[in-house]
Amino acid sequence: MNIKDCVRIICISILTLIILLSSVGIVYATSSQELRNQQSDIDAKIEQTNTEIAGVKSQMTAALSQINTLNSEISGYENDITKLQTQLEGVNAQITEKETNIAEQETKYAEQKKLLEERLVALYESGTTSYLDMLLTSEDLSDFISNYYLIEQMAEADEALLEKIENTKKQIEAEKEYLVSAKTELETTKQAIEQKKTSLASSVSKKKAVVSNLTAEEAELQAQLEEFEEDKRRIQAELAKIASNYTGEVVAPSAAGYISPIPGKTKRNITTGYYGYKGHTGADFACSSGTTIVAVKSGTVVTSTALRNSRGNYKSYGEYVVIDHHDGTMTLYAHMLSGSRTVSPGQSVSQGQMIGQVGSTGNSTGPHLHFEVRIGGNHVNPTPYLP
């Protein structure tokens, strides 16, 4: 393990420090007070987070109710649009009807005109070719004259009829014109409503984006809350554990009587040494994965756990064990092989008893034992304690 890794460990393991502080008798009063302070800090954080969640929820409720209002306005507009569409279809049908009527009048007009032309031809023919001849040659002049006038009268009637058809057609065209302008008006109204609807729909999608952001925010706050609550549970557990506390004097390194945590190795085998608070918090023994780790001295297991992040991956010390030696010192064994811990909190261990195996769990780049000595919760240089 390099120095950087271990610096990171210091940052992550504040809680662990608290736990350790709590377990050393000589600083019993201070550490429990500290734990209580931590607990009220966390209580405040939990309260703050709950307030934030309530705020987010009320924003969400407001946004959702705005969406409901907008949606009901939209469906009102949709009804209007449907009505207008029906009206437009009615007007279109009327226009088509008028157009058919106009076409009928035009046909009538053409037929009538043709009839008139025929009569006029007949009249002309009788007037030019026959009139004088007939006057001179007709056997029955009165017949001819009556015939001629009859044609002329009929032509006059035809013209009157044509005018009537023309007038009817004009009237229908005027009606059609009116319908077309009504249609234009309906279309304008419909367009305006459609625009309103579109703008409301875009408001709705903006509000929905707001809601989705708020949902994400709430999820984040809930996750935070869960972490705080987990911290709280741990602290409470640790507070409960400070039943067996040490009241004697702290043993000196030479009198501690530690053996090596890795059988067969000595302080000369330390691969990364102790650098104090701003550096490495313990001594590392690089060894192959699965190497046996033993208790350096008899005592009681205070901690035997795995530190994991919210995704369930190992973090910080990974799988680690803390033993209280009831002489004012505690020892910590970190990065143990997954599932290799053989001791549980509260359990008594004897010197040399196997407690687990070397691994690389947590903030570690390769198999090694990270070994710490703690006095009053603070780490001290473990080297003088080791054989």
Residues at the contact surface with Zn ion, assessed by CB under 5 A: 1, 6, 284, 370
CB 112 within 8 Å of CB 165: yes
- Nearest distance from residue 369's CB to Zn ion, in Å? 8
- Nearest distance from residue 320's CB to Zn ion, in Å? 11
- Nearest distance from residue 337's CB to Zn ion, in Å? 16
* Residue whose CB is less far from Zn ion, 56 or 270: 270
* Residue whose CB is less far from Zn ion, 77 or 274: 274
CB 173 within 8 Å of CB 102: yes
CB 317 within 8 Å of CB 334: yes
* Residue whose CB is less far from Zn ion, 326 or 368: 368
- Nearest distance from residue 370's CB to Zn ion, in Å? 3
- Nearest distance from residue 5's CB to Zn ion, in Å? 7
Long-range contacts from 44-50, C-beta under 8 angstroms, 24+ separation: 45/228, 46/225, 46/228, 46/229, 46/232, 49/221, 49/224, 49/225, 49/228, 50/225
* Residue whose CB is less far from Zn ion, 61 or 288: 288
Among candidate residues 210, 220, 195, the one with its CA nearest the CA of residue 65: 210
* Residue whose CB is less far from Zn ion, 126 or 305: 305
Chain position whose Cβ is nearest to Zn ion: 370
* Cα(220)–Cα(115) distance, integer angstroms: 91
Q: Which helix (H) or strand (E) holds 143?
A: helix 141-241
* Residue whose CB is less far from Zn ion, 326 or 370: 370
Among candidate residues 374, 340, 357, 372, the one with its CA nearest the CA of residue 270: 372
- Nearest distance from residue 213's CB to Zn ion, in Å? 42
Neighbours of 365 (CB within 10 A): 11
* Cα(281)–Cα(16) distance, integer angstroms: 13
Q: Which two tokens stand for residue 47?
A: 């309260």
* Residue whose CB is less far from Zn ion, 341 or 370: 370
User: Integer distance in angstroms from the first to the last C-alpha of the chain?
Assistant: 22
* Residue whose CB is less far from Zn ion, 6 or 251: 6
Q: Which two tokens stand for residue 385?
A: 């304690």
- Nearest distance from residue 282's CB to Zn ion, in Å? 5
Distances (CA, A) of 265 to 132, 294, 335: 155, 12, 18
- Nearest distance from residue 284's CB to Zn ion, in Å? 4
